[in-house]
Structure 1
Amino acid sequence: MWADDASKIDMLAYRPYADLITEIAVSERMNPLTIGLFGNWGSGKSTLLNLIEEQTTSQSDKKIAVIKVNAWMFEGYEDAKTALMEAILQGMKENQSFIETSKARIKSLRDRVNWMAVGKTVLKQGVPLAITGLTGIPPIIMPNSSSFDSPEGIQKQIDQVTKFKEEYLKAQPEGNVIENIRGFREDFSFLIQESSVDNLIVLIDDLDRCNPDRIIDTLEAIKLFLSVPRTTFIIAMDENIISYSIKRKYPQLNDEGINVSSDYIEKIVQLPIKIAELAESDVKNYMLLLIAEMFLEENALNQLLEKLKVKGVFIKGEIISGTEILGIVQEEIEVNGSIYKTGITETEFEQQIQIFNSIGSIVASSLKGNPRQTKRFLNTFYIRKRLAEIQRIEFNLAILAKLMVLEYFDSDLFKELFQWQFEHSGKPLQLKTLEEQVLGEPKEGEPFNIEELSKNTTWTSDKMKRWLGTQPRLTDIDLSPYFYLAKDSVSERRLFSVNLNQEERKYINQICDLDINVSIRRKRIEKMLEMDEVTRNEVFKGVLEKYHQDEAQVETLVECHKLLPQYKSKIFDEFKNLDGKRIDLSKILLFQQLDTDSFTELKEYYIEKKNADRKLWELGGMK
């Protein structure tokens, strides 16, 4: 299994990016500088930050102080600006690169930041006008009258506010807001110059997880207070989320046709670096390397990566084959002996490398170039694998992987396949026909009609042909155990809330099969009269849910209305809930099959209550 966070091993071939960014960040000529690492969710921004941190701290010719800040951790703080400034100053205090004499200046700046935050909080909460008169602090709003119910309470508030006044005024620099910002910048800049640090590099991660106001406040804190000589800020963020936050903050400029988000980002970020979406070949390579990471010891994994880099696999954009990985691993075994993690066998590793090697390309095409999605796919695979092992379910890993591919790239087709196998005791006849016909292996006497197989989705796209052709073939395989493991993905919440067993659900599907002869459907519906009342009610609920999912099932309800008198009232109410504008002549002709009184009542209801076309209803009602 893999944690859903940044990797410390470069399996995405991001090292060249880290080297370049480090080279720029430590350049005296370039600072002060703010670098933006732009990439979508899960694209590997945090992994790249880790590599940059590793590279910058290993600089031997310069004294670099690196501080890493997770912006999301300060989401609950009152003020984003002061929270960021406090975090950076705390990091500087703990960093060995700053000499002892810097500690006093750091403390002074931290006190200043703390009083900024306290001042903002007090002003926001307010104190009563009576205390204002006693202390001389300008009038502000009283927060809670219960604080002044007794002489003791009043005196307590007076003492607190008086103390605040004395301390706040002592800590506050004189002058207006602009002068205070300038003063902080000067003190912060002098602190860095006074130290022996050549460059302070601040890595900010997860900014795009914060709320829009906090995102803007954080960016403004960097620009106004912290961007001084010998500093470099490297911010990992999703540009789309940052742009949304800016437009939300300044909507009036958007209305003027000004591209406010682009201009704003350019003011904050001097060097934007965009992390490209991984190509399908990159995702497949990443998947195979993740498998290797799970099975191999760290040294062996690093050797594998190094040999692949020497071959130029990543630079050339080549696809790594499972055979290539197994060959390199075998070479390592011959030199160093066993290189597998405890409890891992060579056979197990080879089997799973080969499985994902065979389906890797089609999996990669479904994961949208996203490393995090790749991890989640593999985590789900191994969770289901382990569930099967715990319950002693016999299964084939390759079949599990192949079905998960369909689940990921087209959930509707996956659910449709679930229905097919459900109706045929785990072995869907429709899938057998698809494999034979789409893959060019038709049998004589078995005509093929895609429209009959699937009315709402297509099984004949190029992607589906690739999936169908991927080994193993699924014809005559019992798929029910695999869908059991994936029941969280296939269960229709409404239908499966009905208390039905497998046979009863199968029976509902048979009743609602619109392709069968009407007389056969009627016989199936009539069998409900032979059921006990509890079962019959549950089955009817299931039929209603099918109708709610597909309005074409109105045909089935019409038959139920005629054959199941105990449900006529409920069915009639369903007919009355239809959208009057969507009732065409074909539906009216169906309703005409109802008994005369029911049809007449329904007609009058739609004409009088929903302004339906009387002529259309009368035309449909003609015998």
Structure 2
Amino acid sequence: MWADDASKIDMLAYRPYADLITEIAVSERMNPLTIGLFGNWGSGKSTLLNLIEEQTTSHSDKKIAVIKVNAWMFEGYEDAKTALMEAILQGMKENQSFLETSKEKIMSLRDRVNWMAVGKTILKHGIPLAMAGFTGFPPIMLSNSSNLDSPEDVQKQIDQATKLKDEYMKAQPDGNVIENIRGFRNDFSSLIEESSVDNLIVLIDDLDRCNPDRIMDTLEAIKLFLSVPRTTFIIAMDENIISYSIKRKYPQLSDEGINVSSDYIEKIVQLPIKIAELAESDVKNYMLLLIAEIYLSEDILNQLLEKLKDKGFFIKGEIISGAEILEIVQREIEGNGPKYKSGMTEGDFEQQIHIFNGIGSIVASSLKGNPRQTKRFLNTFYIRKRLAEIQGIELNLAILAKLMVLEYFDSELFKELFQWQFEHDGKPTQLKLLEESVLGELEEGEELNIEKFSKNTNWLGEKMKRWLGTQPRLTDVDLSPYFYLAKDSVSDRRLFSVNLNQAERKYINQICDIEVNVAIRRKRIEQMLEMDEVTRNEIFKGILERYHQDKKQLETLIECYRLLPQYKSKIFDELKKLDGERIGFDEILLFQQLDDGSFLELKQYYIKQKKSKREIWDLGEM
């Protein structure tokens, strides 16, 4: 299994980016500098930050102090600006790069930061507007007039404000807010200049996980307080989320033809670096390397990556074959220690590499160039594999992987396939026809008519043809154990909320099979009269649920009306819920199977109440 966090091993070939960014970050000529690492969720921004941290801390030419901050940790703080400054100062205090002589100045700056938050504390406690008149005190607004209902309340507020004001003036002799910002910047700059540090590099991760206000506060803190000589800020963020936060704060500019978000980001970020989505070939390579990571010892994995790098796979953007990986691991790498992690075997490693080498391309096409999605796909695969092992279920792992691909890129088709296999004891005949069509195995003159068994035309899309043509074939394979392992994905709350066992659900599917002979359907409905009342009621609820999902079941519902008299009232109520303007000739012909009185009542209801066209109803009676 793989942790859903940043990797410390460079399987995405990000090392050149890390080298370049480090080179820029430590350059005297470039600072103060803010670098933005822009990439979508799960694109590997945190992994790149880890590589940059590793590179900068091992930089030999200069004395570099590196502090890593997770912006999401500030989410619970009242003031994100002061929380960020406090976190950076604390990091500086703990960093061995700063001399002991710097500790006192760091503590002094931390005191200044604490008092910068006094204004917000005052607002929180509801101190009146009148307090703004105190000399040197930050202007504040009346926040809670309900605390001023009596002279005693007013005096209490004044006493509280006076106390805060005295404490504030002792700690902040400059008094003025602007002067305090300038004072902090000067002191912060002096602290770094007088220390032995050549450059302070601050890595900020997970900013795009914060709420919009926190995002803006953090960016403003960097610009206003912290961007001073010998500092470099490297911020990992999703540009779409940041843009949304900016537009949310400055909506009044949106209608004036000004791209406020781009302008704002340009003012904060001097050097934007965009992490592109991985190509399909990159995702397939990454997937095979993740499998290698879980089986191989760290030393062997690192040697494998170096060998692949030397062969130019990453630079050329070539697909790494499973055979290439096995050749390098088994023939080209020699090591004193074990090649495989404890509990892992060479045979299992070969099997997994072969499976995902064969199906890797179609998997990669479904994962949208996202490393995190790749990890999640593989984690789900191994969870299901292990669940099967625990329960003694024998699986073809290649079939498990292939079905998971369909589940991942089209959940509706996956659910429909589940329905088909459920109706055909695990071996859906519909899938057999689709595979034969794609592979050119239909008999001469025979054509596939998808409308006979599905209303979803996606079965005929190029992606599905590619999936159907990928080995292994699923024709005549019992798919039920695979869908059992995926039951969280196929459960339909509307149908499975009904209290039915598997045999009863299968019975409902047989009744609602639109391809079944009418006489057979009629016989199955009639058999419901022989059931006990509780079972019959639950099955009828299931039939109603299927009708709600697919209005093609109108014919089934009318058969139930004719054959199950105890449900006539409920069914008639359902028949009155259709869109009157969309009722056509086909629906009216089905309604004619009702008794004369019910048909007439339904006709009058739709014409008078739901604006259905009389001409169509009259035509249906001819």
Instruction: Determine the C-alpha separation between the residues in 1 that align with 2:330 and 2:555.
Output: 64
1:81 maps to which residue? 81
Instruction: Determine the C-alpha separation between the residues in 1 that align with 2:509 and 2:79.
Output: 58
1:516-555 equivalence runs, <5 A: 516-555=516-555
Quote how far apart the aligned CAs of 1:345 are.
1.1
155-164 vs 381-390, which moves further: 155-164
Quote how far apart the aligned CAs of 1:430 are.
1.5
Instruction: Determine the C-alpha separation between the residues in 2 that align with 1:212 and 1:380.
Output: 32
Quote how far apart the aligned CAs of 1:160 are.
5.5
Quote how far apart the aligned CAs of 1:180 are.
2.4
2:459 match: secondary structure? coil
Distance 1:132 1:316, change over 3 A: closer
- Sequence identity (%): 82
Instruction: Determine the C-alpha separation between the residues in 2 that align with 1:208 and 1:257.
Output: 26
1:282 maps to which residue? 282
Query: Could you list the per-position Cα deviations for residues 465-512 of structure 1 after superposition, in whole angstroms to 9, with x for gaps in the alignment?
Result: 222222221111111000000001111111111122222212211211
User: What code does the residue aligned with 1:71 have?
Assistant: A
Instruction: Determine the C-alpha separation between the residues in 2 that align with 1:143 and 1:476.
Output: 76
Quick check: 2:148–2:154 contact (8 Å CA) kept in 1? no
In structure 1, list runs of 5 or more residues that go unmatched: none
49-58 vs 437-446, which moves further: 437-446
Query: Could you list the per-position Cα deviations for residues 121-161 of structure 1 after superposition, in whole angstroms to 9, with x for gaps in the alignment?
Result: 22233146999999998884458869999x9x999988765
1:123-272 equivalence runs, <5 A: 123-127=123-127, 140-142=142-144, 161-174=161-174, 176-272=176-272
Superposition TM-score, scaled by structure 1 size: 0.94
Instruction: Determine the C-alpha separation between the residues in 2 that align with 1:154 and 1:175.
Output: 25
**Structure 1 residue 561 corresponds to structure 2 residue 561:** yes
Instruction: Determine the C-alpha separation between the residues in 1 that align with 2:134 and 2:319.
Output: 77
1:117 maps to which residue? 117
Instruction: Determine the C-alpha separation between the residues in 2 that align with 1:390 and 1:557.
Output: 43
Query: Could you list the per-position Cα deviations for residues 166-212 of structure 1 after superposition, in whole angstroms to 9, with x for gaps in the alignment?
Result: 21122234354333222211111111111111111010000001111
Distance 1:562 1:268, change over 3 A: same
2:49 maps to which residue? 49
**Structure 1 residue 503 corresponds to structure 2 residue 503:** yes
1:344 maps to which residue? 344
Distance 1:173 1:120, change over 3 A: farther
1:484 maps to which residue? 484
1:313 maps to which residue? 313
Quote how far apart the aligned CAs of 1:603 are.
2.2
Instruction: Determine the C-alpha separation between the residues in 2 that align with 1:145 and 1:134.
Output: 20
1:458 match: secondary structure? helix
Instruction: Determine the C-alpha separation between the residues in 2 that align with 1:5 and 1:129.
Output: 48
User: What code does the residue aligned with 2:41 have?
Assistant: W
Query: Could you list the per-position Cα deviations for residues 316-358 of structure 1 after superposition, in whole angstroms to 9, with x for gaps in the alignment?
Result: 1111111111111113665435311111111111111111111
Quote how far apart the aligned CAs of 1:379 are.
0.2
Quick check: 1:279–1:369 contact (8 Å CA) kept in 2? yes
1:503 match: secondary structure? helix
1:352 match: secondary structure? helix
1:34 maps to which residue? 34
553-562 vs 192-201, which moves further: 553-562
In structure 2, list runs of 5 or more residues that go unmatched: none
Instruction: Determine the C-alpha separation between the residues in 2 that align with 1:321 and 1:110.
Output: 55
Instruction: Determine the C-alpha separation between the residues in 1 that align with 2:340 and 2:82.
Output: 48
Instruction: Determine the C-alpha separation between the residues in 2 that align with 1:511 and 1:537.
Output: 15
1:292 maps to which residue? 292
Quote how far apart the aligned CAs of 1:599 are.
1.8
Quick check: 2:426–2:478 contact (8 Å CA) kept in 1? yes
Distance 1:29 1:445, change over 3 A: closer
Instruction: Determine the C-alpha separation between the residues in 2 that align with 1:444 and 1:502.
Output: 39
373-382 vs 421-430, which moves further: 421-430
Superposition TM-score, scaled by structure 2 size: 0.94
Quick check: 1:35–1:232 contact (8 Å CA) kept in 2? yes
2:493 maps to which residue? 493
2:233 match: secondary structure? strand
Quick check: 2:66–2:201 contact (8 Å CA) kept in 1? yes
Quick check: 2:136–2:176 contact (8 Å CA) kept in 1? no
Quick check: 1:174–1:180 contact (8 Å CA) kept in 2? yes
1:92 maps to which residue? 92
Instruction: Determine the C-alpha separation between the residues in 2 that align with 1:340 and 1:544.
Output: 55
* Number of residue equivalences: 620
Instruction: Determine the C-alpha separation between the residues in 2 that align with 1:190 and 1:133.
Output: 33
Instruction: Determine the C-alpha separation between the residues in 1 that align with 2:370 and 2:134.
Output: 62
605-614 vs 533-542, which moves further: 605-614
Distance 1:9 1:465, change over 3 A: same
Quick check: 1:285–1:320 contact (8 Å CA) kept in 2? yes
489-498 vs 119-128, which moves further: 119-128
